[in-house]
Chains A and B, each alone.
Chain A
Amino acid sequence: MPDYTVSKTLDYKGLACPMPVVKISQQIGTVAVGDVIEVHTTDPGSLSDFPAWAKTTGHAILETRQEPGLIKIFVKRQK
C-alpha cells in the first residue's frame, strides 16, 4: 500500500495533448504543499508528459498506474 493519502482526484479522461498537462498546472496550486492529487487520464502521452512537467516545475510523480483503458497518475505538490 502507498504511504500517502490523496487529497483530490481529477478526471481528465478523454482529454488530448496538451490539455492534461495544462489542467494539472492550473490545479496544482489548489492543494497544499505536500498534498497528493490523483489524476485519471486516457491520454497515453501523459505517461511521459506528467514526469516531464513535474521535472520542469519542481513537483513529484509518486506513482503511475496503468489499468485497462485508464491511467492513474499521483502528483505531489512540492512547493
Chain B
Amino acid sequence: MSVDVDKAMADLRSKVESMPGAENKLTMVVMSGELDKHLAAMIIATGAAAMGMKVILFFTFWGTAALRAADKKGRGKNFMGKMFGMMLPKGRNKLVLSKMNMAGMGTAMLKGLMKKKNVASLDQLYEVAAQLAVKIYICEMSMDLMGMKKEEMIDYPDLEVCGVATMLSHAKESAIQFFI
C-alpha cells in the first residue's frame, strides 16, 4: 500500500494549526471592578505583550466600569442606566481596593505606596498596553444591562464591543486563558 506522504503531512499540519491553544496568545476575562484586581490584570497583560504574546482582554460586568472615561457622558440613558452610572466607579482612577479600603483610606495609602516604590499606575499601564497593541473588548450585554454607552468609554486605539463568542474564539486559540 502506498502512502501519499505530502498529503499526510499537509493534513497533519492543518490539524496541528487548528488545535486549541496553538497560538502564542493570552485571553483574559476582566470581570472584577476593583483596583487591586485591575492592577493584576494590566500587569499580566502588559507583561505578556512584552513576552511577545498577542493579548486579548475581555471586560465584562463590573470590569466595564473601569473603561469609562472620567470626562465623557453617555447620552439618552434611562432611569436605571443613570442609577448604575452614578453608583459605579467612573473610570479606572475611581476604583477602590477589594480589601482594606477603609472608606478610601486604604486605597489612598496603596496609591501613595505605589508612587513611592515607583510601581506603574493604571494610567501608565494602559498607555503601555496601547503601545504594545493589547486588544480590549467590552462585553456588549454588560454595557446594555447597566445602561453604559460606547461613547462614554476611554479613547483607546484598539477597543471594540463584542459578545461572548468573540472572546471564546480567542480563548480557544490562546495558549493561556485567565479570569480575573
Contact = CB atoms under 8 A, between A and B. Distances in A.
B120 A57 contact: no
Interface residues of chain A: helix, strand, loop or mixed (majority): helix
Given A16-B118, A18-B120, A19-B120, A25 B51 contact: yes
A15 interface: yes
Interface in A22-44: 22, 24-26
Contacts of A56: 51-52
A48 B51 CA distance: 14
B117 A57 contact: no
Contact of B132 (A15, A22, A57): A22
Interface stretch (B7-15, B27-35, B42-50): B42-50
- Chain A contact patch, size range: 10 to 19
B118 A15 contact: yes
A26 B51 CA distance: 10
B122 to A, nearest CB: 13
Nearest to B43: A18
8 contacts: A16-B119, A18-B50, A19-B120, A19-B128, A21-B47, A22-B50, A22-B128, A24-B50
A22 B129 CA distance: 10
A50 B98 CA distance: 31
Given A16-B120, A25-B51, 12 more contacts: A16-B117, A16-B119, A17-B43, A17-B119, A21-B47, A22-B46, A22-B49, A25-B49, A26-B132, A52-B51, A53-B50, A57-B51
Contacts of A53: 50-51
B46 A18 contact: yes
B131 interface: yes
For the complex of A and B, the 10 pairs showing the least CB-CB separation, nearest first, are A25-B50, A18-B47, A22-B50, A16-B119, A56-B51, A57-B52, A14-B118, A21-B50, A18-B43, A18-B46
